[in-house]
Amino acid sequence: MRMMYILGIDVAKQTFDATVQTATGIHHYQAFPNTPEGFAQLNTWLTQLGIRQVHACMEATNIYWEALSMWLYERGHTVSVVNPARIKGYAQVQMQRNKTDKLDSAIIASFCATHKPDAWQPMSEAQRQLRDLVRYRDDLLQTRLQQQHRLRDTTNAVVRQSLEALLTVIATQLEEVQEAIDKHIKAHKELRTNVQLLTSIVGIGQITAMKLVAEFAAIDQYDSARSAAADTGVTPSHDESGTSVRRRSRMSNMGNVNLRAALYWPAITAMTHCPSFKACAARLLANNKPNNVIIGAVMRKLVHIIYGVLKHQTPYDPAKVLGPSASTSC
């Protein structure tokens, strides 16, 4: 039986640090540039160590991990991409007092060997392209807002002329990117179907639907709606101890920030226009739950609905989800 080695990787923008942990606890360490050339150097290093297959583990830090994880995946290695909070918690349990890139890669390797996290599955190429387009669109919107604020706050004629020209360019780019998104969705049946399914849900329009389709992992990677909600970071976080510690509940926020951002306004819309969601929010308010917890609960309910709609590939039916008395407006 072939031995599975553990490879802990601490990824940064320009470099990554790698620690191999053997079954006997021996560690081998090396640092590489986070480039295709660095990936080839990693392969050479593993070959020199006599290693053919690894279980590689890394943190989901920004987007710096994606190229390396795909490179490893395509070469038959098992890859796990975990929430950085899990690694931080594990390091604290191990009483790790120092923090360097080398130590971080060793901690990640130890975490992987101990907890054996689930294998990561990459997005389809079509979904990855959609995600890149959607995120770029959001960046353009943020840039436009920044420049609009600058235009509002300046009276300098030269600056105003420059900002107005820049805003015109951004507006043109936004139109072109949105057109590219629409064409991309129409060209891929799965994306097009999922967007149509999601727009059947209360509060979710075309823009939100395309964001959700772009950001959600493949639905078969989740074993339940609860795990999908946890991955989104909308599950509740409680802090209670003994009889004296009773801190207010809050959303965990330990998940995909882009998904949470996309779900915020749909949750507000559902609470405003859907009687069932409105009643749910009223019950939580009557129990003295803070506003962020109420919104989080509605967001979590929406994730459960999204999971069901995508899992079963059927449009949203409020009577099935919220009961036969649910209003058709939901």
Q: What is the pLDDT of residues 237-294, one digit of tens each?
A: 544 444 444 555 555 556 678 888 999 999 999 999 888 888 889 998 898 888 888 9
Longest dimension (CA), the chain: 74
State which of 92, 115, 138 marks the end of a domain. Answer: 115
* Full residue range of the structural domain in which residue 12 is found: 5-115
Rounded mean pLDDT of the chain? 88
17 and 95 inside one domain: yes
Final residue belonging to a domain, choices 115, 146, 173: 115
Q: Which of 273, 289, 282, 288 minimizes the C-alpha distance to 327?
A: 273
CATH number, domain at 55? 3.30.420.40
99 CB-contact burial (10 Å; exposed 0-12 / middle 13-18 / buried 19+): exposed
Listed residues 115, 136, 158: the one ending a domain: 115
Indicate the pLDDT class of residue 1, thresholds 50, 70 and 90.
Answer: very low
Residue 138 lies in a domain: yes
CA angle 94, 95, 98 (to 5 degrees): 110
In a domain, 247, yes or no: yes
pLDDT, one tens digit per residue, over 93-147 is 888 878 898 999 999 999 999 999 989 989 899 999 999 999 999 999 999 999 9
Tokens of 269: 């819309």
- What's the whole-model pTM score? 0.80
Task: Please state the domain count of the chain.
Answer: 3
Same domain? For 218 and 182 the reply is: no
